[in-house]
């Protein structure tokens, strides 16, 4: 089915896809703001603003919005990432007007009541403390911090505790006003509607909102990595985790797809679906070399489609009777194998077939299809998504070998180890 | 916005579009075609859950389910996963308290392969020793992480408090001692005795004709028998707590505390289940997590998450309120939760609250049935609880019939505020 793509006079990008299999519509509003837009002292601002978007506007007071959506049988949520913030609602088709009116309204009219800001401050600090209970969050945060010198990708989306304690209502409101303008947003909807009728309604709701100045971005060109960095995170527990984070490429880089195939061979296929599960990775090269040989009990890879070069990471849960160094040595052997010898064509064919299957699963969900529409538009264009399978299929064994040689060198990585400090758990 | 596809009964599964066949060996097969789908979901269960675990081998049912794809008479571990992963399919076994489950999905043309893997895992697992040891290391790592997880530990102790002397008190994943003690003979013995076709249900939904799907299951599994297969163990009666009980569990080095307040709720087939379920929606689900979310998170700003849940399974699963809070705010949060529970159990919910929750239940049902997986799960529910083939079409009427008084009565019956368990896991508190 074709996608209707247009841009309103105020710069709002609109993508609409009719799907008439079930009477459901999923509506997404994406704002091009994330932790990459946060300077010193403002880490976590984008995520906090997202929370404040649920605290009401003069037209839709706090507490009413969620009840109205729930009453109509819909579900809605929001998420903040390093590059974007997204708000979605999936509703019975005849009830979609409410979230449409709401999204248009809170794009510019949110209250940011000072008391609500303070109440949300403790909620977000609590969210961060919940994350800190997890050893992987502690390791991720240290590795990410070491992976960048200047770029705001160096901090976690949730932000530093010190900033969460000190940020003011006005800091947040200015962040909101700077980035929440129609020319910095993408509206994507999929489901049981007539695209022209839907577009008319979008025009009614949005065209009166004036465009704002193009938001200035944090100017931080990250220098190329020159040597391996190592970090050790200490904390409670018994389990050792290893995380190797290699400086990656932006999603629009021609090498992104070769690196995607390299990831698939090494650690199993990445799942681009947000609302549909992936598949196991037990025949991947790293699983066979680490888990089958009792050096690890689990291994995973993660390559993200991002605006600026982020990291490709490999996470290893070390076997209880092994050391981190043994797992790292095995990781290096397997990466060297891919660098030394191109993979077989059959391995690439398999990676493409896996990606095709994941696409088929993802297309079952209308929410997931609407997610796809907007997601690629934020870091590139929807065409990135439409050509994804063809781009993967065009990757050659030599491309994969070259990507491994270029991007998976130790000089480009941070090697992090979560080292349990041996404190006993349980009642003391 | 006017919808083109009117919300009609045809989009909801019912007697006229669900195929149900009982095979000669007792396996029940349910299937529904989704002509819009290129893929197929396979799910099911059989009565081989942790209720069969001996006390000194807790985690055995779980270990067995996890081991079924570690090698079979036909294929070794890598060959099993190679066949699945090379075509982008996923499939696996798991275990719960009452049943062992299985599930996966593939492109439609690959359903026969999923059925082969299901068949081999159920009937001919080989439990190779090297794979069993790898799996044991993975299970022990999972248990080492559980000990460090405040939510998991709060939940473990909550079950111990609420279900003293009842099988629901026992952790399905066992503990390091019992997992360490399980032998290959234990795995083989458990599999031989408890796995069989009686009580097994298979559900298939996707881009395949329902009749064809049923015949594929028949061809694969109808000749399976196990004369040794026992009846499911009787669930002993649950005894209500005589008073409020409290347990706090310290885990060094953590930042947040997780807490659970509640007790046993109604089984799925209790006559007041629907009233309890709607009440639970008001208490801790509706909107941004109901009254509890409004009080603990929105108004007091004490927690990132605060909600209630009602298990409602075969037996008296838990009805509980959970929240994650700063350790300094534990008591404040518990007090607010009890305040909400007192109001919930003593006063009628408002007409507006009830009407909102009814609309929410009825309106959200089509969304839950959007995917093949959602429909496959609905078919299993119909069979597990004998709800009737048209249950989902009658669902709006069942919801509409619940009254405010029925909710108050269910709340008072199942959540007596002076007889609840409170379980907290978190860092040691300053001065404590």
* Residues B285-323 pLDDT 10s: 998 899 999 999 988 989 989 999 999 999 999 999 999
What is the predicted pLDDT for the residue at A359? 85
Q: Is B35 within 8 Å of chain A by CB?
A: no
What confidence tier does A1 reach under pLDDT thresholds 50, 70, 90? low
* Residues A161-205 pLDDT 10s: 999 999 999 999 999 999 999 999 999 999 999 999 999 999 999
* Residues A368-422 pLDDT 10s: 999 999 999 999 999 999 999 999 999 999 999 999 999 999 999 999 999 998 7
What is the predicted pLDDT for the residue at B431? 57
State percent of chain A over pLDDT 70. Answer: 98
Q: Between A and B, how many CB-CB pairs are < 8 A?
A: 242
Scan residues 44-103 of B and list those with Cβ closer than 8 Å to A: 77-78, 81-82, 84-90, 92
Q: Model ipTM?
A: 0.91
> Mind spelling out the 3-state secondary structure of chain B?
CCCCCCCCHHHCCCCCCCEEEECCCCCEEEEEECCCCCEEEEEEEECCCHHHCCHHHCCHHHHHHHHCCCEECCCEHHHHHHHHHCCCCEEEEEECCCCEEEEEEEEHHHHHHHHHHHHHHHHCECCCHHHHHHHHHHHHHHHHHHHCCHHHHHHHHHHHHHCCCCHHHCCCCCCHHHHHHCCHHHHHHHHHHHCCCCCCEEEEEECCCHHHHHHHHHHHHCCCCCCCCCCCCCCCCCCCCCCCEEEEEECCCCCCEEEEEEEECCCCCCCCHHHHHHHHHHHHCHHHHHHHHHHHHHHCCCEEEEEEEECCCCCCCEEEEEEEECHHHHHHHHHHHHHHHHHHHHCCCCHHHHHHHHHHHHHHHHHHCCCHHHHHHHHHHHHHCCCCCCHHHHHHHHHHCCCHHHHHHHHHHHCCHHHCEEEEEECCCCCC
CB proximity list for A22: less than 8 A, separation 6 or greater: A192, A366, B5, B11, B366, B370
Nearest to A133 by CA among B131, B147, B279: B147
For testing contact with chain A, the best of B2, B3, B377 (most A CBs within 10 A): B3
Please say if the pLDDT value at position A241 is more than 50.
yes
What confidence tier does A423 reach under pLDDT thresholds 50, 70, 90? low
* Token pair for B190: 């458990």
Of B3, B38, B144, which has the smallest distance from its Cβ to A93's Cβ?
A: B3
Of B25-29, B227-231, B261-265, where does mean pLDDT reach its minimum? B227-231
Of A23, A350, A426, which has the smallest distance from its Cβ to B366's Cβ?
A: A23
For testing contact with chain A, the best of B11, B103, B370 (most A CBs within 10 A): B370
Distance between CA atoms of residues B121 and A52, nearest Å? 50
What confidence tier does B375 reach under pLDDT thresholds 50, 70, 90? very high
* Residues B22-34 pLDDT 10s: 999 999 999 999 9
What average pLDDT is seen over chain B? 95
- The arithmetic mean of pLDDT across residues B129-153, rounded, is 97
Scan residues 141-200 of B and list those with Cβ closer than 8 Å to A: 141, 144-145, 147-150
With CB atoms and an 8 Å threshold, state whether B298 touches A62: yes
What is the predicted pLDDT for the residue at A221? 82
Nearest residue in B to A90, CA atom: B367
Quote the minimal CA–CA distance from A205 to chain B in Å.
13
With CB atoms and an 8 Å threshold, state whether A126 touches B298: no
A127 neighbourhood in chain B, CB within 8 Å: 304
> Mind spelling out the 3-state secondary structure of chain A?
CCEEEEECCCCCEEEEEECCCCCEEEEEEEECCCHHHCCCCCCCHHHHHHHHCCCECCCCECCHHHHHHHHCCCEEEEEECCCCEEEEEEEEHHHCHHHHHHHHHHCCCCCCCHHHHHHHHHHHHHHHHHHHCCHHHHHHHHHHHHHCCCCHHHCCCCCCHHHHHHCCHHHHHHHHHHHCCHHHEEEEEEECCCHHHHHHHHHHHHCCCCCCCCCCCCCCCCCCCCCCEEEEEEECCCCCEEEEEEECCCCCCCCHHHHHHHHHHHHCCCCCCCCCCCCCCCCCHHHHHHHCCCCEEEEEEEECCCCCCCEEEEEEEECCCCCHHHHHHHHHHHHHHHHHCCCCHHHHHHHHHHHHHHHHHHCCCHHHHHHHHHHHHHHCCHHHHHCHHHHHHCCCHHHHHHHHHHHCCHHHEEEEEEEECCCCCCCC
**Residue B240: CB atoms within 10 Å:** 11
């Amino acid at each position: 089915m074709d996608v209707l793509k247009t841009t309103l006079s105020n710069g709002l990008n609109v993508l609409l896809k009719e799907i008439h299999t079930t009477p459901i519509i999923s509506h997404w509003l994406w704002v091009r703001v994330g932790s990459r837009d946060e300077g010193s002292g403002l880490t976590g601002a984008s995520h906090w603003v997202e929370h404040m978007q649920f605290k009401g506007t003069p037209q839709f007071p706090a507490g009413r919005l969620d009840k109205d959506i729930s009453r109509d049988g819909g579900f809605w949520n929001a998420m903040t990432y390093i590059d974007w913030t997204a708000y979605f609602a999936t509703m019975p088709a005849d009830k979609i007007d409410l979230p449409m009116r709401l999204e248009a309204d809170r794009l510019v009219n949110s209250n940011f009541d000072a008391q609500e800001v303070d109440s949300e401050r403790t909620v977000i600090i609590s969210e961060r403390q919940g994350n800190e209970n997890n050893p992987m969050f502690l390791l991720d945060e240290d590795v990410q911090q070491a992976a960048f010198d200047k770029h705001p990708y160096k901090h976690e989306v949730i932000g530093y505790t010190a900033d969460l304690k000190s940020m003011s209502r006005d800091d947040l409101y200015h962040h909101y006003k700077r980035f929440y303008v129609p020319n910095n947003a993408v509206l994507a909807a999929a489901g049981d509607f007539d695209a022209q009728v839907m577009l008319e309604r979008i025009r009614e709701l949005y065209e009166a909102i004036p465009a704002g100045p193009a938001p200035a971005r944090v100017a931080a060109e990250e220098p190329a990595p020159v040597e391996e960095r190592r970090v050790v995170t200490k904390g409670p527990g018994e389990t050792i985790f290893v995380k190797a984070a290699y400086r990656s490429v932006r999603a629009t880089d021609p090498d992104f797809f070769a690196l995607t195939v390299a990831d698939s061979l090494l650690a199993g296929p990445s799942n681009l679906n947000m609302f549909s599960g992936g598949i196991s990775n037990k025949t991947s090269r790293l699983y066979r070399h680490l888990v089958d040989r009792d050096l690890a009990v689990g291994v995973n890879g993660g390559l993200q489609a991002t605006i600026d070069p982020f990291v490709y990471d490999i996470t290893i849960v070390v076997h209880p009777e092994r050391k981190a160094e043994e797992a790292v040595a095995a990781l290096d052997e397997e990466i060297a194998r891919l660098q030394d010898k191109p993979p077989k064509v059959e391995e690439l064919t398999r990676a493409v077939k896996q990606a095709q299957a994941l696409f088929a699963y993802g297309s079952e969900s209308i929410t997931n299809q609407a997610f796809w529409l907007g997601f690629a538009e934020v870091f590139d264009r929807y065409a990135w998504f439409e050509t994804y399978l063809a781009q993967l299929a065009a990757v050659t064994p030599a491309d994969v070998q070259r990507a491994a040689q270029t991007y998976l060198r130790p000089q480009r990585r941070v090697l992090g180890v979560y080292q349990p400090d041996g404190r006993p758990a349980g009642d003391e | 916005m006017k919808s083109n596809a009117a919300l009609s009964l045809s989009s909801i599964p019912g007697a006229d579009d669900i195929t149900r066949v009982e095979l000669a060996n007792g396996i029940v097969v349910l299937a529904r075609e989704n002509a819009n789908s290129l893929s197929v979901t396979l799910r099911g269960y059989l009565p081989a859950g942790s209720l069969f675990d001996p006390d000194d081998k807790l985690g055995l049912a779980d270990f067995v389910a996890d081991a079924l794809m570690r090698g079979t008479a036909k294929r070794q571990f890598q060959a099993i996963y190679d066949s699945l992963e090379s075509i982008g399919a996923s499939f696996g076994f798991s275990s719960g308290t009452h049943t062992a489950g299985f599930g996966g999905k593939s492109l439609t043309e690959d359903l026969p392969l999923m059925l082969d893997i299901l068949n081999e895992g159920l009937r001919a697992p080989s439990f190779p020793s090297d794979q069993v040891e790898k799996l044991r290391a993975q299970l022990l790592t999972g248990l080492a992480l559980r000990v460090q997880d405040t939510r998991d530990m709060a939940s473990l102790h909550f079950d111990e408090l609420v279900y003293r002397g009842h099988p629901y008190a026992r952790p399905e994943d066992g503990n390091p001692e019992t997992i360490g003690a399980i032998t290959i003979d234990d795995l083989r013995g458990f599999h031989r005795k408890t796995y069989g076709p009686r009580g097994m249900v298979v559900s298939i939904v996707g881009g395949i004709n329902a009749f064809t799907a049923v015949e594929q299951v028949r061809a694969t599994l109808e000749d399976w028998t196990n004369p040794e297969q026992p009846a499911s163990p009787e669930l002993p009666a649950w005894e209500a707590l005589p008073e409020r009980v409290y347990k706090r569990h310290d885990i060094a080095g953590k930042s947040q505390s997780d807490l659970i307040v509640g007790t046993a709720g109604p089984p799925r087939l209790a006559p007041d289940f629907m009233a309890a379920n709607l009440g639970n929606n008001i208490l801790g689900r509706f909107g941004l997590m109901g009254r509890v979310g409004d009080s603990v998170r929105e108004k007091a700003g004490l927690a990132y998450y605060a909600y209630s849940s009602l298990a409602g399974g075969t037996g008296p699963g838990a009805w509980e309120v959970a929240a994650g809070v700063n350790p300094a705010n534990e008591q404040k949060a518990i007090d607010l939760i009890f305040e909400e529970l007192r109001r919930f159990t003593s006063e009628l919910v408002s007409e507006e609250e009830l009407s909102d929750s009814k609309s929410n239940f009825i309106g959200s049902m089509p969304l839950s049935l959007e995917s093949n997986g959602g429909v496959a799960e609905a078919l299993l529910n119909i069979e597990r609880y004998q709800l009737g083939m048209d249950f989902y079409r009658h669902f709006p009427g069942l919801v509409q019939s619940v009254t405010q008084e029925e909710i108050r009565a269910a709340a008072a019956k199942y959540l007596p505020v002076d007889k609840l368990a409170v379980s907290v896991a978190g860092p040691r508190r300053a001065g404590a």
